[in-house]
Structure 1
Amino acid sequence: MLIVEDLLLLLLDDETGTPAKAGTLPYTLGGAVLVELAMLGRIDADGEGSRLSGPLVTATGDGPLPDPLLQAAWDEIARKPRPVQTLLLAIGGDLWTTVVDRLIAAGQIRREKKRVLGLFRMTQLPSADVAHEAELRRGIRAVLVDGETPDPRTAAIVALLSGSGALPELRPLIAWSGDVYRRAKALESGNWGAAAVGTAVTRTTTAIAAASAAASAAVIVTTVNS
């Protein structure tokens, strides 16, 4: 499964399928795809950009990518270098439906149609197979609560969750503490320690997490003020 699939699976409520931080989801999902491309060595975020929009992201490497979702994102980036902030929405804006369909096809969630009060139709996306998600949660808990060194994939997922602000909302809840907060923020800022897979990857991941966090904060402020 892709990082974006694992991330959405973690964000979805196991009973209803309602995602945590729904308003910022496009930025978080877009960030997950960009991080995966960075870990494959297919993008770099080393170009000059503004403080608000983040560094410019450029496509690197050649040849087909192992997944059509990643290929479509890389093709979008290859059109022209753009700031991280712009690409998050360009790539993540329509990903919700695509990733949900992929999770259903993989047997991780299912689609249920129900009536509320016998009148209103609604669709829910409860978990169908909890084993994979439970393993993801165990890995996150081991890193944040027990202080284990993460593998690069887990480090990237925690960085994205931390940047989106959704980390405290994971179910079951993590026993939140100062140490947990500091470990999450360290990963968000690119301090992966032995998990580092190269300066370019951690630099790009850090830029993506920072842009996702800024976008999420902007959405929240706009929502509160509207």
Structure 2
Amino acid sequence: MSEDRTIPAASSPAEPSLVGDVLLLLFQPDSGTIAGENVLFYVLGGAAVTDLALTGAVEVDGRRLFARPVSATGDERPEDELVAPVWDYLQKKPRDVQTVLAAVGPNLREPALERLVARGELRAETRKTLGLFPSTHYTLGGDRRAELIAGVRAALVGGADPDARTAALAGLLSASDTLPWFDREIPWNSAVYTRGKAFEQGDWGAAAAASAVARTVVAGVASSLVIAGVISSRP
């Protein structure tokens, strides 16, 4: 037994968030699962801070070589309630990237999924196992995931010079060690591995100059995953 579950579209802002885009990319349509669940909160937290960085809502202390603290800028709270709590957290005092990811990342998965359902990019069904235990099953809804995959594939395989959002997505996927999951959509080979590492480490081509803070955050996500010991297969 199953029933469709929808969320009012009013809860979804006009522009997609980077958090939602990362989660949508990680969603695997064939299985209905999300790649990299074991590192997901790091990746979503990184996407939230990167989203704020791309709009100038946070900054990184560039005077320090390591453990560069991130802080909120300005007095205007972001309108998007998915990332606004992250800005609130950073406004209290500057914090290093690893601390931020651990604090904000675990709270992002469910609201991001609900946002994707509200936008029609995913469909949610409530199913009951043995007629007793409810669970939610997701299937692909709209076309945005295909568009995102095409952009990331062009950057990783075709060598295209991406915009800052696409570069951030490629870097976050590489940092999460999930790119092999995408082999049918993004051919997995040594060249893609190397290109992904370049995005992960801040080599964003033409988008680099305008996105210094975002590049630092993505690189910080990669470092945090290594420090936490959740990524162990790096050559």
Q: Determine helix, strand or coil for the equivalent of 1:102.
A: helix
Q: Determine helix, strand or coil for the equivalent of 1:176.
A: coil
Alpha-carbon separation, structure 1, partners of 2:57 and 2:26 = 26
Summarize deviations over 1:48-90 as a string: whole Å, max 9, x none: 6795xx3111111232424122222111100111111000121
Alpha-carbon separation, structure 2, partners of 1:166 and 1:205 = 20
Q: 1:205 aligns with which of 172, 192, 214?
A: 214
Say whether residues 1:84 and 2:97 are aligned partners. Answer: yes
* Structure-to-structure mapping, 1:19-168, within 5 angstroms: 19-46=34-61, 51=66, 54-116=67-129, 121-129=134-142, 131-168=143-180
Say whether residues 1:176 and 2:188 are aligned partners. Answer: yes
* AA of the residue aligned to 1:32: A
Alpha-carbon separation, structure 1, partners of 2:208 and 2:223 = 24
- Equivalent residue pairs, number: 216
Structure 1 range deviating more: 101-110 or 161-170: 161-170
- Residue 165 of structure 1 contacts residue 213 of structure 1 at CA under 8 Å; is this kept in 2? no
The structure with the greater share of residues assigned to helix is 1
Distance 1:171-1:116 versus aligned 2 partners, 3 A rule: farther
Give unpaired runs (5+ residues) of structure 2. Answer: 1-15
Root-mean-square deviation (Å): 2.3
Alpha-carbon separation, structure 1, partners of 2:203 and 2:231 = 28
Match of 1:8 in 2: 23
- Residue 168 of structure 2 contacts residue 215 of structure 2 at CA under 8 Å; is this kept in 1? no
Q: Percent identity?
A: 41
Q: Determine helix, strand or coil for the equivalent of 1:220.
A: coil
TM-score by length of 1: 0.86
Distance 1:50-1:144 versus aligned 2 partners, 3 A rule: closer
Alpha-carbon separation, structure 1, partners of 2:174 and 2:214 = 12
* AA of the residue aligned to 1:163: A
Alpha-carbon separation, structure 1, partners of 2:88 and 2:139 = 33
TM-score by length of 2: 0.83
Give unpaired runs (5+ residues) of structure 1. Answer: none
- Residue 82 of structure 2 contacts residue 112 of structure 2 at CA under 8 Å; is this kept in 1? no
Summarize deviations over 1:102-126 as a string: whole Å, max 9, x none: 1111111121123456675432111
Distance 1:116-1:49 versus aligned 2 partners, 3 A rule: farther
Say whether residues 1:186 and 2:198 are aligned partners. Answer: yes
Summarize deviations over 1:158-185 as a string: whole Å, max 9, x none: 1111111112213634212222122111
Q: Determine helix, strand or coil for the equivalent of 1:38.
A: helix
Q: Determine helix, strand or coil for the equivalent of 1:125.
A: strand
Structure 1 range deviating more: 79-88 or 10-19: 10-19
Distance 1:221-1:147 versus aligned 2 partners, 3 A rule: closer
Q: Determine helix, strand or coil for the equivalent of 1:27.
A: helix
Match of 2:6 in 1: none
Distance 1:95-1:211 versus aligned 2 partners, 3 A rule: same
Distance 1:122-1:219 versus aligned 2 partners, 3 A rule: farther
Match of 1:196 in 2: 208
Structure 1 range deviating more: 42-51 or 65-74: 42-51
- Residue 159 of structure 1 contacts residue 209 of structure 1 at CA under 8 Å; is this kept in 2? yes
